[in-house]
Chains A and B, each alone.
Chain A
Amino acid sequence: MNNHESALFKDKQIGFLIYLGVEAIMFSVLFATYLIFTPARQGPHPSEVFEAMSVILSSFFLLSSSGTLLAAEKGLKKNNKFKFLVWFGITLLFAFIFLGLEIREFHTFVSEGYDISVNVFMSSFYVLVGLHAAHVAFGIGWMIVLLIQYRRKIPASLFSEKHTIFSYYWHFVDVIWVFIIILVYLPYLV
């Protein structure tokens, strides 16, 4: 990356970090909503809805996908194509598995009768965790686009810029998930 590119990259970095600040505010309002309304006075209680296994499994895949993304980044820095593609592919796979587990979890809830309009607890759960899942889905699309960009052989410095910005996004989505574990699930699972 030359001076010219690194100046433009720095702009983008700061801009994207501010954008993640926007996202952080969005999620914190939703967390506040959840904390205000949970547990609800009537309808299902969180402890009868949540299942620990589903949370542990999905957490395992999403949280380790941050690690695999770091490994992919190392591969990219060392110009090791194989290493990059393998680790990046694993990240993508883990993201898919996480999203699948989320969909399965939501599906189970709904089929047990715990849908979005049952009570305010379920409502605030779905708008929060659902928005997070939407972020993961968006991240999956982003990763696929990045893979195509890699094949298109755009300038290496531009690709590494795009990759770095994505990694900020992905780690951010992970951090939000950690907060979801701590604030949404954990109080009612232990």
Chain B
Amino acid sequence: MDLSLFGITVFLPSDVLAAWVFTILMAIPIGFFVLKKQKFGLIIDYMRTTNHRKIGTLYILFGVLYFFRAGIDALFIRTQLAVPNNDFWVFQGEKYNEVFTTHGTLMIFFVAMPLLLGLMNVAVPLQIGARDLAFPFLNAVGFWLFFSGSVFFNISFFINMTPEIGWTGYAPLSTEMFTPGLDTDFYVFGLQISGLGTIFTALNLIVTIIRHRAPGMKMTRMPLFAWATLITSVLIIIAFTVLAIALYLLMFDRQFGTGFFSGTEGDPVFWQHLFWIFGHPEVYILALPAFGMFSDIISTFSKKVIFGYPVMVISIALIGFLGFMVWAHHMFTVGLGPMANTFFAITTMAIAVPTGIKVFNWLFTIRGGVIRFTIPMLFALGFIPSFVMGGVTGVMLSVSAANFQFHDTHFVVAHFHYVIIASTIFGIFAGLYYWYPKITGFVLDGKLGKWHFWLFLIGFHLTFFPMHITGLEGMPRRVYTYEVSDGVFLLNFLSTIGAFLMGISMLFFIWNVYKTHRKGEKAGNDPWDGRTLEWCVGSPAPEKTFDPMPIVKEMDPVWYAKVENRELRTTANTRPAPIETESFLPLAFALSLFLLSLGITFSWYWLAIAGGAAALGLFILRSFTDERENHYGKEDSHE
């Protein structure tokens, strides 16, 4: 559609136009609400905050927002594939490439990551008895970097420059020769900025878990979610750094005329190696925190200590370790040779062992327990069989000879949606329902929660189970249509119905949130009859927690205090808390990197220089406004 504005004619496809209209229509009621309820103070407060619960809330808020955007992309994909030879709206050819690229990139980087980091931010300090993350200021920097990276990626759509290279950004397609437009640059810089934020937050979580545990909270007494967070953070530190350098090299290829991934001497397979050295651990970065959450949830709602705690910890660590040795199983068809393929096939199969151990331990935790079918527990119970199915197809895919048949078919699509949705997305929902009282002070409605769970579970299986069969029939992924004679119509149609069921279930979730807040029924400290330390602080978690500080003498301290009908043992003699502050600097810093990236993308070098100078200037400003200045140089005192 051609639009004429101030004498300039621009071409906008109708889907982009629709997005503009929709966004503006959504902005009006939100703006009206903010004006009417005088919420400016609250917004300013959240822009300056360094408190872990508030930052976690921000992560979750934007994660859910992007979940809807990427989910709508998924519905477009499924509608286009619903019937053979379909011409749904604009989603054919390049537009189809754009829509699966944004769906994948958003879901991985801007949905799963922030939702997990958000839940870690909220829950981990409370679980281990820390008063905040070790570096509150850095935590805010991490969030705002994620935020500006995600906005940078998303604006590409609104100016009709959506990346169309797949979430893997394979070279040489992603190099300048094949995608000369600016679209791929939005991918490069969007991921680069938000990845930097993720690295900082992971670093922060590691130091928090190592240094800020409550007295007596030994590593061997930590809840499994905290353990999973620790190991995930180590994986993030390694994997996202490799991604950062891969994107750095790709940026040089696109902007400064180098040829690492293309041309006569460059090597496209080098990009694949770098990407999957990041990409495969990334899968475990998504799955391990979910494993941790399920462990805590299953233990709570079975009223039993987790079965085989040490083995659970060891298997998380083993999965994390093996996760770095399997990346080439994404590249079996590249032609690395039988030795390499065999090695990576065996390491991949080996990962099934610790994962299987975990599954059995969850089952043994449930066995003989007093089970309560709350919403978090339902998601945990839905997770176990669904995830096992994804695991089984994973082992099938790891057979490198058979993989030549499976590669790039819908069988792979079915596999990774089974593992990622069953673990990460179910885990996130379970975690959201479970910790919602700690975030907002309310318990989400159980009845609507059941609607959400059942519709989502049924929709999920209905969408992805048929893809196993269409995949084995040879239906390739990333292709926008098929023929009647391919004989995959009925199965595809079922998939589409399933996708819409999942979409509808999400409306129940939103309705649930609305209804719960409308009702405004405050939850107590311990709505679930919980076991770990987060259930001894207020709901929502106050800014000053653990005063006095509990002393931990065993696993699940809150539970045993309740069983023995006593108060938690506490002490006033604690290590110094992290120093909180309120500052616009993290937001400003992220904004300056945003401008820097915008400048390089559009070759507006004055803007790039201004953005870079602003970033360096903010470093200096930060150095001179260090909140520690007021806390140092005083007499030795214990708070």
Contacts and interface: CB of A to CB of B under 8 A. Distances in A.
A2 to B, nearest CB: 4
A158 B632 contact: yes
A152 B633 CA distance: 14
A158 to B, nearest CB: 4
Contacts of A116: 252, 256-258
A25 interface: yes
A131 to B, nearest CB: 8
Contact of B242 (A7, A10, A29): A29
Contact of A145 (B241, B244, B620, B632): B620
A11 B628 contact: no
A158 B210 contact: no
Contact of A127 (B206, B252, B270): B252
A145 to B, nearest CB: 5
A117 B576 contact: no
13 contacts: A3-B638, A4-B638, A11-B134, A11-B212, A18-B207, A29-B241, A29-B246, A29-B274, A116-B256, A120-B259, A127-B248, A152-B624, A154-B629
Contacts of A127: 248-249, 252, 258
B260 A26 contact: no
Contact of B203 (A19, A119, A149): A19
Given A4-B636, A15-B135, A149 B256 contact: no
Interface of B: 134-135, 138, 199, 203-204, 206-207, 210-212, 237-238, 241-242, 244-246, 248-249, 252, 256-260, 264-267, 270, 274, 575-576, 578-579, 616, 619-620, 623-624, 626, 628-629, 631-638
A190 interface: no
A5 B623 contact: no
Nearest to A117: B257
What 5 pairs between A and B have smallest CB-CB spacing? Answer: A155-B633, A117-B257, A2-B636, A123-B258, A155-B632
B261 to A, nearest CB: 10
A25 B243 CA distance: 11
Contact of B211 (A3, A14, A36): A14
A66 interface: no
Interface string A1-24: 011110110111011001101100
Contacts of B245: 26, 29-30, 33
Contacts of B628: 8, 158
Contact of B206 (A18, A36, A141): A18
A168 to B, nearest CB: 14
Interface of A: 2-5, 7-8, 10-12, 14-15, 18-19, 21-22, 25-26, 29-30, 33, 36-37, 40-42, 116-117, 119-120, 123-124, 126-127, 141, 145, 148-149, 152, 154-158, 161-162
A22 B623 contact: no
Contact of B623 (A12, A15, A126, A145): A145
Contacts of B636: 2-4
B258 A117 contact: yes
B267 to A, nearest CB: 8
B581 to A, nearest CB: 13
A119 B265 contact: yes
Given A22-B237, A33-B260, A123-B260, A8 B274 contact: no
Contacts of B248: 127
B265 A157 contact: no
Contacts of A26: 241, 244-245
A11 B249 contact: no
B99 to A, nearest CB: 32
Contacts of A7: 575-576
Interface centre among B238, B246, B252 (most CB of A within 10 A): B252
Contacts of B638: 3-4
Nearest to A23: B241
Given A14-B211, A116-B256, A21 B576 contact: no
B270 A15 contact: no
Contacts of A158: 626, 628-629, 632-633
Contact of B199 (A2, A3, A22, A126): A22
